[in-house]
Chains A and B, each alone.
Chain A
Amino acid sequence: MVDNSMISEEELFQVVGPGWKTYEVQKRKKTFREKLKGKPVFSMILLLIVVLGCVFANLVANHDPSGFYLRNLNTPPGREFIFGTDSLGRDIYSLIWYGGRVSLVIGISGAAIITVIGVTYGCISGTAGPKVDSVLMRFTEMCGSIPTLLMILILSAVFQADDVISISVIIGITGWFALARIVRSEVRQIRNSDYVMYARLCGGGFGYVMYYHLIPNFVSAIMFVVISSVSSCITMESTLSFLGLGLPADVVSWGSMLSLANKALIMNTWWVIVIPGVFLVVTLMCITNVGSFVRSEVNNKYSNL
């Protein structure tokens, strides 16, 4: 359409001499803005703020998190106590940063346990013979159909879990079933490929093959599950502590801060309930956003393998 009549035939079929240069694409350096495009910048910044704030809680907090300011019970948010105080007179602003440490540690260590158990179990089940495989998978299906919260209830009651390590172990060992199933189906697809067979023929053991051949192949498929299991562990811990079965109220986490909610409801002090909860939800969402970004990123990287 564009001015076809204006171009004469000579111009269309121009004879090009030796001095003629082709049009070169100018490679412009990407601006900072363009580099950030498509990445969950907002979530990353928020997450970074939360994580740094928790790591350097002693610098960020302006009050002693274990201090009871008895003259200032249930103070609404204000100058001195930025987010107010709860019914025990503790400063919520300081508690949030110190409590975040515990919540994040439980989230990360729980996710680590889930990943290790899930990946190992999935690899064993994926490479095993049909009988062992079906027994192993039946086991995960059976455990997976018991409500997780009930399983954790039994375990935490039986083993009297009330410190950070035992809680993350309990959350970890009840959360890996879905991951194991994904890993197993991925391993099934690649276990018969030539390079795995070659590695086996060269004498590579199970651990070697798993580490060098299997895991690099399915890492993209499980990355999202691994990262979102951090947020599910944090949720689980806060639910448990809220129900009074997790951390005791003197070990501060976002969940155990919310376990004072009943008192706050009676006093009608909204800030005790809403502020830690908002921190919790925002962190969970940021983790998931970053997770779904990593999924697409890793997919790009490994798609040709």
Chain B
Amino acid sequence: MRKIELTKLNIRYALLISSFLFVGVGILRGEHLVVLKKAVNICLECIGVG
């Protein structure tokens, strides 16, 4: 039981660290610019006229 708890705890922290790493890698790949470009223009498909 204790082992399962420790595994879940490790997964929790691993996911937290991974999430920051993912965001960092995404920025290095320029993905944030893709998101920004999409978000600052009206998305016609999203509003249903595209």
Partners in one complex: no
